[in-house]
Chain A
Amino acid sequence: MKIKKKIPLIDQHDKNGFWGGKFGGNFIPETLKKPVDDLTKLFAKIRKDKNFIKKRDYYFKNYVGAPTPFIKLNNLTNYLGGAQIWAKVVSEANGGAHKIYNATVHALICKKAGKKYVIGDTGAGYAGKMLSMAAKKFDLKCKIFMGAKDIKRQKPNCDAMRKNGAEIVPVYSGSQTLVDAVSECMRYWVSNCDTTHMCVGSTVGPNIFVKICGWSTAQISRELKIQLKSEFNAIPKKLKLINCIGGGSSAYGFWSEFIDYNKKQIELIGVEAGGPKKSKLHAAPLSKGAKLGILHGSASYVCQNNEGQINETESISAGLDYPGVSPIHCFLKDAGRARYTYASDEEALNAYKLVTELESISPSLEPAHAFAEAIKIAPKLSKDTIIICNSCGDSYKDRDILKKRLDKHIK
């Protein structure tokens, strides 16, 4: 399995939609064949359309707020006494997370397709919140599918969605988390695909949704590349880009410009949700060796049993609490370009605690997994090594969990 250079990873699939010959594809009911084909054609057209790109860039700059800051975490660096630790503070984007890129692009596509309704799934509530924001901005009617368990644990984002005029559809089936929300959202699309556009909240789902999402979040690494050059005059010789992995949209966006570099120069590290230390359940299909399977329209490594039933997952972080993962991360793993590991709930909480005690940023529990890995490896690395964590979400949504687990109050 080999990655080609100078071609965006999202475009390195075969004619059947598979990356590396086996990840991705389109495992969808016949009814969705046409809407997916239509969307594929539309996206191929608009991504070449200068006016559309101009529009995207306009909204990224003036609505999302590009570029997001790139800062050194001096106190954390000194405390750990090894590699330099930096953060790309993507949570400074409008709405508080990277999900705004994909949501904005989907809203623009929905408009372009002449559809008035947009639907989306959400776990942590950020994908839902951002889609509700974009829908409001572009005058679209919005429905968000969310697991009942997640509605309870991510209340602040639910409040935001309702405030933006979106309808939250609670999903009570299965584990009542992201996996069920995505299923229910797809079911709704099957029934309403003639009038409604679907936004998949991460780089998962049928091939085209992986591509659109990756194309949208790639903004993060475009910005970072410029910021690196202006900060260090060149791309550093020893660089590690650490990102949490749920579906994998922020990681792809964070890495896309750097995939062509030698991995000895730029190491890409993905951190999955290992779940509670004492639990057998987790949401780490890549780093815990899950088998290839089909979930939500594409083939990827999936937490499942021998029969092919999807396993329940468990993580303190609703945004990472998903049994599958993006086919492009499976590709990056098997091609040997990225390294995947996991952090437990406890490690993520400790990382959150340390980062917020020492620094002025407040990453949510998802990027706290990335910081956990940074904290683990930094002391062993040389001072000229640059570690950058993508702080892709803000902790405000986690205030109830953090209060309960750390007795910490968040404004």
Chain B
Amino acid sequence: MNISPISLAFKKCKVENRPALLTYTVAGDNNKKKSLEILKSISKYADICEIGFPHNTPIADGGQIQTSAYRAIKNGIKMKDVFQIVKKFKKFKNSKPVILMGYYNMIYQYGENNFINKCKKVGVDGLIVVDLPWPDNKYFAKRCKKKSINFIQLLSPTTSKERMKKIIRDSHDMIYYISMLSTTGGKLKVSPKEILKNYQKIKKINNLKKVVIGFGITEKTISKLKSADGLVVGSTICKEISKSLEKRQNPVTNVSNMVKRLKNKIKII
């Protein structure tokens, strides 16, 4: 059986006895060239790169990612550019798994089949679709699997145990657990202990699935959650890009340094 690049990444981290570090950046933020440079530079430290394809009506994103998305759209990013960025990035570092993340309307307008085929062609390893929940995503997820693309199911604190079991059964290699009731970039309002308790509930249902935790993870909070399979950092990176632009500094260096610091915080010393 072929092991997916995503599973491989988790395996590598397991050997190093640490969680996988997943970064989220918006394709085209702050422009096409810079966002590729940022990706290349953070890939030294990140284990999996999530890349957002921006939408201008993002109902589950907080201010930081909204700002990044609007900035990217304003600077002219189109779906074809998003795929270009992935393609170039994979050429640079083929082993690094890439997960595309976004809203369903963008996929719907592209055409589901076209979208999946294009993902396959440029080397996308996984997909997260924020507003296509289970069971509505069953058919789409199956089609992804056929093309060896991981469709990543989301779970949240509001997901009932019954529902959780069904979603996990239909999930692929990786599951994304939303740490709290919040949009992206919210302040962590639940204790890490509580989050890990819920995380354990998921692991108990199926220990083989890799579960990553996202939402509210920053330089401050990341080390408290390092017993998870993986941790996603998004808004805090987007914020760093905004801050760098404001101060007229190079976002590539600043973001790269931040991801390096994040990585150091989850390493077992």
Contact = CB atoms under 8 A, between A and B. Distances in A.
Interface of A: 16, 25-35, 173-174, 179, 183, 186-187, 190-194, 291, 293-297, 302, 304, 306-310
Contacts of B156: 29-31, 33
Nearest to B158: A34
A294 B59 contact: no
A307 B60 contact: no
B43 to A, nearest CB: 27
A29 B131 CA distance: 5
B249 interface: no
B136 to A, nearest CB: 7
Given A16-B136, A25-B136, A194-B181, A308 B106 contact: yes
A33 B159 contact: yes
Nearest to B182: A191
Nearest to B58: A183
Given A296-B59, A304-B105, A304-B109, A192 B133 contact: no
Given A34-B160, A174-B70, A190-B181, 9 more contacts: A29-B154, A33-B156, A33-B163, A190-B183, A191-B181, A191-B186, A293-B109, A307-B109, A309-B73
A183 B181 contact: no
B131 A31 contact: no
Nearest to A299: B108
Given A33-B159, A174-B56, A190 B106 contact: no
B55 A309 contact: yes
Given A33-B158, A187-B62, A310-B57, A294 B108 contact: yes
Contacts of B163: 33-34
B120 interface: no
Interface of B: 55-62, 66, 70, 73, 78-79, 103-110, 130-134, 136, 154-160, 163, 178, 181-183, 186
Contact of A29 (B59, B105, B186): B59
B133 A30 contact: yes
B26 to A, nearest CB: 14
Contacts of B157: 31
B130 to A, nearest CB: 6
Nearest to A293: B105
Given A30-B178, A31-B156, A308-B110, A174 B57 contact: yes
Given A27-B104, A34-B158, A295-B105, A308 B183 contact: no
Nearest to A27: B131
Nearest to A194: B181
6 contacts: A31-B158, A35-B158, A173-B70, A191-B182, A191-B186, A308-B105
A80 to B, nearest CB: 41
B59 A26 contact: no
A187 B104 contact: no
Contacts of A297: 59, 131
Contacts of A191: 181-183, 186
A76 to B, nearest CB: 40
